[in-house]
Structure 1
Amino acid sequence: MADPTATNPRKIIHIDMDAFYASVEQRDRPELRGKPLAVGGTRERGVVAAASYEARTFGVRSAMASVTARRRCPELIFVKPRFDVYAEVSRQIRGIFADYTEAIEPLSLDEAYLDVTGVESARDVAQQIRARIRAETGLTASAGVSYNKFIAKLASDQNKPDGICVIPPGAGARFVASLPVKRFHGVGPRTAERMAALGIETGADLAAQSLAFLEAHFGSFAAYLHGAARGIDDRPVRANRIRKSVGAERTFFEDISEPAALAEALERVLDALMERIERSESSGRTVTLKVKYSDFRQITRAKSFAAPICERVLIGEAGRTLLAGLCPVPLGVRLLGLTLSSLAREEEEVAVSQLGLDL
């Protein structure tokens, strides 16, 4: 059990690469090291897929419009993403993980859970893994070490970049109590807003609520929230887990036909999809847009990537690109949907020619 009161708690490590895409680019192009860098595009509607730590000091963040990023940092250097390279580096890193445990649950190209229960010191294992990643790839990683997945993931973000944070069983609830709920895995912007309206801003605020109260406001998500606020998370590390499609859709009270209104509606669908992706810890290679017209005719359009993705900036850009390709719409739209799916196992990578977005 991942309850902190258990006699033999698990030992879980969450490894999260530091500014992964941007760091790979700086590693491969020495002239970019130490400079503010954004992986993305400079075109008018371009977005930042990843930002180096030098760029972050200017307020540049992933999912930010490229024009805004350039305004904040006039010296910002843009490079196009190379997902085939990122996927290959990710495979190299997972090979390192495999030398320490078979219980590996990848979340995306740049992060994974490892169950190392049974080793004498999970901290030492995490440090060895970080040292090998640096030596063998030239990149840095941060690690969170704890007795369950929820706290290990929070801990890996605590001392970034190139840091480690260990939260032992007796300190889990206290650690969680001090954090804003918007940092909790699975709590997206919309859920955080709902919580704020209920006076729930921190882990301590959440722990003060009864399970019945949380069920009334958050449905099936309540049990997870109730336990997490107390430092409890019983989810196992799921090695070789089957990736399932995750989707969200919205039916409108009135048909929509204006491109601007459709784009705004798509953002709301994207909000819902990202919360579900966060909660299910899913990633996939294909983004599918579903459109149902006023005459109930339904069409889908899809865009694929070379490797699994879970980032909002990439999924959102794919959805917007697919929607733009259908405008102007022949009839009013009564439903929009977005789905993220994985159609192949990790080792069966699709061709590099399917890199997807021209960011």
Structure 2
Amino acid sequence: MSRIIALIDMDCFYAQVEQRIRPELWGKPMAVSQISAGGSASIMLAITYEARAFGVKRGMSVKEAKKVCPSLEICMVPNLPTMNKADLSRYKSASDEVFDILTKQESIILEKASVDEAYLDITEAVEIACNAESPEQIIERFMAHAAELFPSTFIADGEDEKLESDQRLARIIKWLDEDCRMDSLQLNLAVGAYLIEKIRKEIFTKTQFQCSAGIGINKIIAKLVCARHKPNQQTIIPPQFVAKVYEMTPINSTMADLQMVPKEQILHEFPEQSIWLFKIMQGNDDEPIRPRLQQKSLAISKNFPGVYKLRSVAGVEKWVTNLSAEFSKRLYEDQVVNQRTALNLTISFRNDEGFYNKTVPLNSYVNIGIINNLLSFMRSYNKAGDKEAWHPPIKNISMSASRFREGVDSQTKQITLWAEKAIQRSLTPDESETKPRELNEPVTSKCVTSTEAKKKRSDSFKTVDHIPQPSTSKQSEQPELIQLDSDDEIGYEIVSSKNDNDLKMERRPFYYRDVVNDEFNENYNEIQTSVNDSTMHSEQNPREKDIPLSERSAIMSRYMPKNLDDLKNQEIKDMIEQLPEDVRQVSAQM
């Protein structure tokens, strides 16, 4: 049977992530903007359809957007605490939630196209569904319950963009009754549309995120119609309508005109690509869906435009250090989640004279090694006569890791096991404390306030919402102290510090709840509760439950010590001796 391919695309994804954090913004004109290098609001990154109706467009400044839509709500992308650089972790975590759902679909090949897009080869799933009933039974059931089974499906036939809701439904029923009865490929597309409706509904129910989809016989066709009826709708494109849809879409200046060029001329001008071009012109593409969820590389980059160019040695060293620390953290998190290790490190920078890059073996994830590699490379291009100056000034610094191999080194495994154990012991807030959004409707979610949470501290088990970690920010250095019922230690963390190149690991107790917003607060607003040390490794805790994979990375950053490869064997032993007994037993067996 012919392939059935779908593209699922999250609608205004960054905006939806922010709306879930602030439910009062559902259904309102809002946009997501990013802080520029100078610390002021930059251009719009994501815009809701309510805002687009007022004329707000991507690329506008906040000032321009507010001028066309005074009621526009602006949500800023958070910055990493140690640098003026966007922290996209909340959007990545939300994306992980969506892909967790997609990976659990049976008989489907999944290819991650971006943080908010995925191609699905649903051919096998369609075949299984078609074998469960006769074609006649499927068609009769689809026609009788079309409004329920295809609530947001359109058929791209060149006239579909003009249809009202009742006309859309009548068109589907007519297509089922006429085309699907006569052609098995059309029926397969109908079954595929039904399956994608179910998947999109599941994504919404579990995450509150809406998405659109395109369904066709290949990736190009699915991509072509995916955005045709955005937001929160999907489009099928039967093969007989491909040429007509080509003519009526913005790409007609290329595709429709290309069809008018004689084949002999195409063969002469593009001898190697001619076969591919002929197929694309007809809407045919045999590119397979390649199972891919993991990134092929990990990267971090920072631009320094205009007056923000780096002109001093101190400035370059500061940013190299900050970027390397964040990059090292991401590498360790990827190692824990994906159980793989990068082998190559590519370091690069751009100045007023050009772009320079170098690839070296990545022998260690320790940030001091990354710092030394990058600074050593960059210093050879510093032409400043003053030893404190840097010339030509730096416009960009970036680094990336690639060539991953499966597995984790034994030294890192001890810490990985400890972190895995800690995740399993963590607790999540009561699910009853948030109310899911109804499909296509705004919602006001019930969130636990700080005052309400403090009243719950008389419970014998405390809800783990956040585990404090040391930070260089002033806010974290002076956390809000909370009066407890007793002076007993309520939690601890293993902290690494490095002074004069001497790495130390210590068990640091804490007696307060750090109230700085973090990844958990993105989902549960201001739930602020204390951590009871006994709940972190109690086998009998009745409120204990697994943390979803999408939240593992956020939690892991709280537990993962830095500079692991700098540890001596005795230091590892001393550190493990400070861990809970059950974790020590697991580590001892490795």
Distance 1:106 1:236 in 2: 13
Task: State the match for 1:240 in structure 2.
Answer: 292
Q: Does 1:330 align with 2:391?
A: yes
- Aligned residue among 53, 59, 70 for 1:57: 53
Distance 2:401 2:117 in 1: 19
Task: State the match for 2:29 in structure 1.
Answer: 36
Query: Per the alignment, do residues 85 and 218 of structure 1 end up closer, same or farther by CA in structure 2, a change over 3 Å counting?
Result: farther
Query: Per the alignment, do residues 101 and 289 of structure 1 end up closer, same or farther by CA in structure 2, a change over 3 Å counting?
Result: farther
CA deviation after TM superposition for structure 1 residue 352, in Å: 6.8
What is the CA RMSD across the aligned residues, in angstroms? Answer: 4.3
**Contact persistence 1:245–1:342 (CA under 8 A):** yes
Q: Does 1:86 align with 2:91?
A: yes
Of structures 1 and 2, the one scoring higher in RCO (CA 8 A, sep 6+) is 1
Q: Does 1:20 align with 2:13?
A: yes
Structure 1: gaps of 5 or more residues: 1-7, 182-199, 247-257, 263-285, 301-325, 354-359
Query: What percent of counterpart residues are identical?
Result: 31
CA deviation after TM superposition for structure 1 residue 70, in Å: 2.5
**Contact persistence 2:351–2:392 (CA under 8 A):** no
Task: State the match for 1:127 in structure 2.
Answer: 197
**Partner amino acid, structure 2, of 1:19:** C
Distance 1:238 1:73 in 2: 42
CA deviation after TM superposition for structure 1 residue 207, in Å: 2.1
**Contact persistence 2:51–2:69 (CA under 8 A):** yes
**Partner amino acid, structure 1, of 2:391:** P
**Contact persistence 1:84–1:352 (CA under 8 A):** no
**Contact persistence 2:120–2:289 (CA under 8 A):** yes
Distance 1:174 1:104 in 2: 29
Once the two structures are superposed, the pairs formed by residues 305-324 of structure 1 within 5 Å of their partners are none
**Contact persistence 2:5–2:123 (CA under 8 A):** yes
Calculate the TM-score normalised by the size of structure 1.
Answer: 0.60
**Partner amino acid, structure 2, of 1:229:** M
**Contact persistence 1:243–1:342 (CA under 8 A):** no
Task: State the match for 1:312 in structure 2.
Answer: none
CA deviation after TM superposition for structure 1 residue 210, in Å: 4.7
**Partner amino acid, structure 2, of 1:90:** S
Task: State the match for 2:4 in structure 1.
Answer: 11
Query: Per the alignment, do residues 47 and 226 of structure 1 end up closer, same or farther by CA in structure 2, a change over 3 Å counting?
Result: farther
Query: Per the alignment, do residues 28 and 291 of structure 1 end up closer, same or farther by CA in structure 2, a change over 3 Å counting?
Result: closer
Q: Secondary structure at the match of 1:87?
A: helix
Task: State the match for 1:105 in structure 2.
Answer: 111
Distance 2:56 2:279 in 1: 34
Q: Deviations over 1:234-285 (max 9, x none)?
A: 1111102775579xxxxxxxxxxx959x9xxxxxxxxxxxxxxxxxxxxxxx
Q: Secondary structure at the match of 1:15?
A: strand
Calculate the TM-score normalised by the size of structure 2.
Answer: 0.39
Query: Per the alignment, do residues 31 and 202 of structure 1 end up closer, same or farther by CA in structure 2, a change over 3 Å counting?
Result: same
Distance 2:263 2:401 in 1: 32
CA deviation after TM superposition for structure 1 residue 122, in Å: 0.6
Q: Deviations over 1:122-166 (max 9, x none)?
A: 111111111111211112111111000001011111110111110
CA deviation after TM superposition for structure 1 residue 105, in Å: 0.5
Q: Does 1:115 align with 2:111?
A: no
- Aligned residue among 59, 67, 73 for 1:71: 67
Q: Deviations over 1:164-183 (max 9, x none)?
A: 110123332332233221xx
CA deviation after TM superposition for structure 1 residue 66, in Å: 2.8
Q: Secondary structure at the match of 1:16?
A: strand
Q: Does 1:172 align with 2:177?
A: no
Distance 2:67 2:402 in 1: 36
Query: Per the alignment, do residues 287 and 169 of structure 1 end up closer, same or farther by CA in structure 2, a change over 3 Å counting?
Result: farther
Distance 1:225 1:112 in 2: 24
**Contact persistence 2:7–2:213 (CA under 8 A):** yes
Task: State the match for 1:283 in structure 2.
Answer: none
Distance 2:261 2:236 in 1: 27
Distance 1:11 1:297 in 2: 43
Runs of 4+ with deviation above 6 angstroms: 215-222, 286-289, 335-348, 350-353
Query: Per the alignment, do residues 147 and 22 of structure 1 end up closer, same or farther by CA in structure 2, a change over 3 Å counting?
Result: same
Which has more helix, going by share of residues?
2
**Contact persistence 1:177–1:229 (CA under 8 A):** no
Q: Secondary structure at the match of 2:99?
A: helix
**Contact persistence 2:348–2:355 (CA under 8 A):** no
Task: State the match for 2:259 in structure 1.
Answer: 207
Q: Secondary structure at the match of 1:160?
A: coil
Q: Does 1:46 align with 2:37?
A: no
**Contact persistence 1:37–1:79 (CA under 8 A):** yes
Task: State the match for 1:95 in structure 2.
Answer: 100
Distance 2:352 2:242 in 1: 50
Query: Per the alignment, do residues 220 and 332 of structure 1 end up closer, same or farther by CA in structure 2, a change over 3 Å counting?
Result: farther
Query: Per the alignment, do residues 35 and 203 of structure 1 end up closer, same or farther by CA in structure 2, a change over 3 Å counting?
Result: same
Q: Does 1:151 align with 2:151?
A: no
**Partner amino acid, structure 1, of 2:9:** D
Q: Does 1:163 align with 2:217?
A: no
**Contact persistence 1:211–1:223 (CA under 8 A):** no
Task: State the match for 2:312 in structure 1.
Answer: none
Task: State the match for 1:251 in structure 2.
Answer: none
150-159 or 29-38: bigger deviation: 29-38
Query: Per the alignment, do residues 210 and 288 of structure 1 end up closer, same or farther by CA in structure 2, a change over 3 Å counting?
Result: farther
Query: Per the alignment, do residues 340 and 175 of structure 1 end up closer, same or farther by CA in structure 2, a change over 3 Å counting?
Result: farther
Distance 2:217 2:243 in 1: 12
**Contact persistence 2:349–2:355 (CA under 8 A):** no
**Partner amino acid, structure 2, of 1:125:** L
The higher radius of gyration belongs to 2
CA deviation after TM superposition for structure 1 residue 89, in Å: 2.5
Query: Per the alignment, do residues 343 and 108 of structure 1 end up closer, same or farther by CA in structure 2, a change over 3 Å counting?
Result: farther
Distance 1:156 1:216 in 2: 34
Once the two structures are superposed, the pairs formed by residues 271-290 of structure 1 within 5 Å of their partners are 290=349
